[in-house]
Amino acid sequence: MAIIGIDLGTTNSLAAVWRNGNCELIPNAAGVFLTPSAVSVDENGSILVGRAAKDRLISHPKHTAARFKCYMGTDKVFHLGEQAFTPEELSSFVLRSLKEDAETYLGEKVTEAVISVPAYFAEPQRAATKRAGQLAGLKVERLVNEPTAAAMSAHIAEGNQDKVCLVFDFGGGTLDVSLVERFESVVSVTAVSGDNHLGGTDFDQMIAKAFCAETGICFEQLSTQKQELLVRQAETCKMALTVREPVIMAVDDGELSASLPLSNDWLIRACAPLFHRMRAPIQQVLTDAGIPLDEVDEFVMVGGSSHMPSVQGYLSRLLHKEPNVDTHPDTAIALGTGICAGMKARVPELKTFVLTDVCPFTLGVGVADPVDPDGLLMSPIIERNCVLPSSKEEVYYPAYKNQKKVCVRIFQGENLHCADNIYLGSIDMDVYGPKPDSLQTPQEDDFPKPIRVRFTYDINGLLEVEVINGVGKRASLVIKKRDMSPQEVESRLKELSALKLHPREQERPRALIARAERLYAATIGNTRHQLTHLLHWYQNILNQQDALLIVKASSKMEKMLDELESFIDVGGFSNFSCFPDGEELEDDTL
């Protein structure tokens, strides 16, 4: 049984596998590598994943969810129609779809995966990712940081060249920055930083709102569907600016009429707060690593949002260094996870490779705050960017005289006050241990006995905390990315069993229908009539259940939608457009 690597992204996800001495990307049912990280529930209660679900964000916004990775490890609940799902449950549908694609491609069962996560994911988010894998029927022992995976991919692609690299991983929902040193067969992460709430989708939102602000439209007063249409159009314009400029963003739905030329300079001005947020993680990484910028050999950009010329230009001016974007930004992380999966499977070609990672957040305990008796201050034991595995010990003393017990509270985070960090667990310990009957309390002249606390943290995210009191009594606690118990998994799988993923052979027709419905929602007039006839024709073919006929009709349907989409706007209310300046379509084009 194969072990695969999975890049579980905010916008798109994809899988890879190491076999026959190479890392291969795994195509989905549509024959492409990128699967949109979107989930929808159709009118029959079935689950749609990928392109079909993404297109239903406009036509069926109340039954569809995307960008749920941003909420991993939180209590947020997504309501899709009458069904309610947690972020990890929605992620599990995407993972299950990738798993089934891999089984079809490889011709064997897939039961284990290495999944990438943003380097700046904290413990609750990593635990949620692992639970999503469990719900998808995957054993997930190893999570790999996304920039680490990208660095591994680049290292092998470039023939194991020795370099110090600054990896800027800018995806749909998160930003990770890492300083990576590559030497011979060793890839070592020196420092990481990031922003879990900065990505391409933030640009889409800000472009849409800036467009409204400059054209006199109140974004907040638009309906949810029109907001989603406008954000989708902003995304289309953003992508168009990667190949040409200016582009015209326009709206004309009978009630609203506005247009605006967009350029990369306009985008930088409109999204200035987002660009400014990119500086802090870069500065933090260089400071933590103790490496000046002029000692960085290569500046590598990965992640879908790194395609943006405005981002490339801004960073090249900031760093005085041209970025390397030749590492296939969209697939570098997935290829890296495939390599890590091969290393976990101990394939002969990768036996000599060593991958070291770092602890992304500080781990410590709470100590008494002399200013606030009710508060605790963070006392670091394993600080961020310590190389893993790591084992460190600190010595503490009781907070007051004649104290009988201590509660060692364990936290993760960088803030001085423990209340602002993430609580992971606690251990209660007697200060002196069992006493003889003749001595029920310690004598006042007793010297305070030390409490030793040792943290041991491994590369798979397992933290062991051991506490030893002054008379040698020990207590320990293992804090790990909490797996769901077999009973929990079985119970939730039974609940989800009624929500079947569409069979793989039905994914292309469902995606085409969802695409046509999305175009229908975005247009009016004659174009809608054409789409109605096209949908009726295609549905009649599907109802005949002739496999060969369906394949031929699907190819024709796809071609007709491509032609239609090339002539009409695809992201607006009824007449949004995103085309080069001066190329507006005439009214009689269609």
* Dist CA 522 CA 233 (whole Å): 10
Strands laid side by side in the 363-368 sheet: 376-382, 363-368, 405-412, 422-430
* Dist CA 136 CA 138 (whole Å): 6
pLDDT tens, residue by residue, 283-328: 889 988 888 888 998 888 888 888 899 999 999 988 888 887 666 7
Domain boundaries, the chain: 363-458+462-479, 504-580
Residue count of the chain = 590
- Alpha helices by DSSP H, 118-168: 123-135, 146-157
Determine the pLDDT at residue 15: 97
Determine the pLDDT at residue 155: 79
The answer to whether 526 and 590 have CB atoms below 8 angstroms apart is yes
Look up residue 462 and give its two tokens. 């397992």
* Dist CA 538 CA 550 (whole Å): 9
* Buried residues in 175-200 as b, exposed as e (16+ CB within 10 A): bbbbbbbbeeeebbbbbbbbbbebbb
* Buried residues in 244-254 as b, exposed as e (16+ CB within 10 A): ebbbbbbbbee
What is the chain's alpha carbon radius of gyration, rounded to the nearest angstrom? 27
Longest dimension (CA), the chain: 102
DSSP class of residue 534? H
The answer to whether 119 and 195 have CB atoms below 8 angstroms apart is no
Look up residue 302 and give its two tokens. 């990965």
* Dist CA 271 CA 206 (whole Å): 6
Determine the pLDDT at residue 401: 78
The answer to whether 192 and 358 have CB atoms below 8 angstroms apart is yes
pLDDT tens, residue by residue, 237-247: 999 998 888 99
Determine the pLDDT at residue 439: 44
* Of 47, 152, 56, 153, the residue nearest 100 (C-alpha): 47
* Dist CA 346 CA 362 (whole Å): 31
The answer to whether 553 and 559 have CB atoms below 8 angstroms apart is no
Cβ partners under 8 Å of residue 178, min gap 6: 119, 145, 147, 148, 151, 166, 167, 169, 189, 190, 191, 192, 193, 285
Number of neighbours of residue 395 by Cβ within 10 angstroms: 9
User: Can the peptide bond before residue 273 be classed as cis, meaning omega within 30 degrees of 0?
Assistant: no
Strands 35-36 and 12-19: what pairing? antiparallel
Angle between helices 332-344 and 146-157 (to 10 degrees): 90
The answer to whether 68 and 57 have CB atoms below 8 angstroms apart is no
Number of neighbours of residue 516 by Cβ within 10 angstroms: 23
Fold of 363-458+462-479: Substrate Binding Domain Of DNAk; Chain A, domain 1 (2.60.34)
State the DSSP H helix or E strand holding residue 277, giving kind and residue range, or none if neither: helix 272-289
Taking the chain (590 residues) in runs of 10, the rounded mean pLDDT of each run is: 92 94 92 94 88 87 91 92 92 95 95 91 87 92 88 77 86 87 80 88 94 91 83 90 89 76 92 92 88 88 88 90 76 93 90 81 91 88 87 89 88 89 90 53 58 86 85 81 59 58 66 83 73 86 76 86 68 35 32
Determine the pLDDT at residue 570: 36
Q: Is 432 helix (H, G, I), strand (E, B) or coil?
A: coil
| 28: exposed, middle or buried (Cβ count in 10 Å: 0-12, 13-18, 19+) | buried
Determine the pLDDT at residue 206: 95
Per-position DSSP letters for 452-472, written without gaps between them: EEEEEE-TTS-EEEEEE-TTS
